[in-house]
Structure 1
Amino acid sequence: MKRGKGMKFVGDSRVPAEKNKFIPKDYSEYPGRTEPFWPNFLLKEWLVGAVFLVGFLCLTIAHPAPLEKMADPTDASYLPLPDWYFLFLYQLLKYKFASGPFFVLGAIVIPGLAFGALFLAPFLDRGKERRPHKRPITVSLMLLSIIAVFWLTYEAAAHVDWEEKAANNKPEWPDSGPSVEIDKESEGYAVYENNCLSCHGGNLEGQAGPTLIGIDYSADEIKDIAQNGIGNMPAGQFQGSDEELQQLADFIVSVNEQASSEE
């Protein structure tokens, strides 16, 4: 055999002399079947997300979430309920095997196993088949979860008279009381500002402490409270002279007299 141009040497006849590098076909070779991720596919995803977000915001404006009345710890007839997406867990805790001494089982163990199974489903069933009957583990876990959530939610909601609950729990805004014009240029307000404003607010409306509008105390009683405290108010809060203490008492009394005259 002559040596010359074009002669190639191989060690095994089954190994090709020239090995072409595999290059996947461009998406343009599959018209109508695929598209580039950026920007075509991602732009579609963003558009769908934007439409959904705008629709959801319009829905919240047209039908705002219902409010209930202010919490009242003395109302023993009030029935607290979680939001709709937690009703299935609320119902689960009603059963004997998930409540009482088995509360940990119902509140942590069972939900943990259920959500853990859904999380591990792709790792437990790694088959390439996409048809449901070819993926029994994943499909079974998903169907069981959907049935359980829908059934428990239905059971929790079916025993509640929602119209009566809404009627009994309408928001009741607190009465703001009579509007009182505070003379912030008076000497009494200056004393109030130095001693009481941080707890009772700039307009005596109350903040950390209760409101001072609508109280029925005389000037002497107010002076005693300012020095010796009352209820949760400790003694020694007032720092000033006797004259300033009298100015403070007269100022609070005058504000309440004005409030009484406007009721």
Structure 2
Amino acid sequence: MHKGKGMKFVGDSRISAERKPNIPKDYSEYPGRTEAFWPNFLLKEWLAGSVFLVGFMCLTLAHPSPLEGMADPTNAGYIPLPDWYFLFLYELLKYEFASGPFILLGILVIPGLAFGGLLLAPFLDKGPGRRPHQRPIAVGMMLLGLASVIWLTYESASHVDWAQRAEANKPIPPSEVEIDKQDPGYAIYEKNCMTCHGGDLSGGAAAPPLIGIDRSAEEIAKIAREGIGSMPADQFTGSDKELKKLTDFIVSVNKQAK
């Protein structure tokens, strides 16, 4: 110890006695190669995400997705389709190696390997370069996945007439159909059907709507007597004459909806 210099005390010899300010690393030594995560990199990510979000919102406002009517369990001819971003998985299940006895390959193994490979790609390709030709494994797997999704989506969408499908299954608001409550069949409908199908035939949580159905009076009468799907048999308790009035009423309402 030198005179006039004082004495310094530390609790651990591994800790420097000199306090250094908490200043982030100077990245100016590596121009164009790296940057600080906060705020430089994160701000760029937020800006890119905001531009994409605004563009996506404008697209949905300009071209809203077509909505279909409520699900009708009595319609055996209806073919459900997933949303557009799952169409490639739907198309995959049409191939022999991913359907039938190999269905587990189509719904679990193949998608699991594909998405798992994309997750592992950065760990499999640890090259220091950032250009595509310097990251052959990661870039190759990403291009393969992207090409597969685009091709399968195109193949699935090209076999569907979306305009005709939307027109055939479009929802019909009850307000557009005038319900004649003076019709003799409406009183029978109130007694037998209103609890499940609603006062305006628009359906509910327990039953589908009776507006927009494509069934004859005979088919409706058979369903009322024998039931269908989750609807039990003998739901209608009236006479044959009352059943005739009920079916005529339902058919007349659907004629207005067409």
For normalisation by structure 2, the TM-score amounts to: 0.54
User: 1:208 and 1:171 mapped to 2: Cα distance?
Assistant: 16
The verdict on how the C-alpha distance between 1:145 and 1:36 changes in structure 2, with shifts beyond 3 A counting, is closer
Select the structure of larger CA radius of gyration.
1
**Counterparts of 2:31 and 2:128, CA distance in 1:** 25
Question: In the TM superposition, what is the alpha-carbon distance from 1:62 to its structure 2 partner?
Answer: 3.3
Letter in 2 for 1:167: E
Contact 1:70 1:172 in 2 (8 A): no
Q: Which residue of 1 aligns with 2:72?
A: 72
Q: CA RMSD in A?
A: 3.8
CA shift in 2, pair 1:67/1:118, >3 Å: same
Cα offsets for 1:21-60 (capped at 9, x unmatched): xx98634677898765544554444344334333433433
- Contact 1:200–1:209 (CA<8 Å) still a contact in 2? no
Structure 1 residue 121, shift from structure 2 partner: 0.8
**CA positional deviation for 1:133:** 3.0
Unaligned runs of 5+ in 1: 1-22, 181-198, 211-229, 233-263
The residue type paired with residue 160 of structure 1 is V
**Unpaired segments of 5 or more residues in structure 2?**
1-22, 183-193, 208-233, 237-258
The residue matched to 2:70 in structure 1 has which SS?
Answer: coil
Q: How does 1:38-117 map to 2 (within 5 A)?
A: 38-117=38-117
C-alpha separation between the residues in 1 aligned to 2:29 and 2:87? 51
* Cα distance per residue 1:119-152 (max 9 Å; x no partner): 1111111111233333332222112211211111
1:123 aligns with 2:126: no
Percent identity of equivalent pairs: 67
Check conservation: 1:87, 1:152, Cα contact below 8 A.
Answer: yes
TM-score (norm 1): 0.53
Q: Once structures 1 and 2 are overlaid, which stretch shifts more, 131-140 or 31-40?
A: 31-40
1: distance between equivalents of 2:51 and 2:127?
35
Residue 86 of structure 2: SS of its match in structure 1? Answer: helix
1:140 lines up with 2:140 in the alignment? yes
Residues 200, 208 of structure 1: 8 Å contact kept: no
Give the aligned residue type for 1:114: A
RCO greater where, 1 or 2, for CA within 8 Å and sep 6 or more? 2
* Superposition pairs of residues 244-255 of structure 1, within 5 angstroms: none
Q: Kindly tell me: are residues 100 and 28 of structure 1, through their superposed partners in 2, closer, same or farther at Cα, counting changes over 3 Å?
A: closer
1:159 corresponding residue in structure 2: 159
Which one-letter code corresponds to 2:142 in the other structure? Answer: M
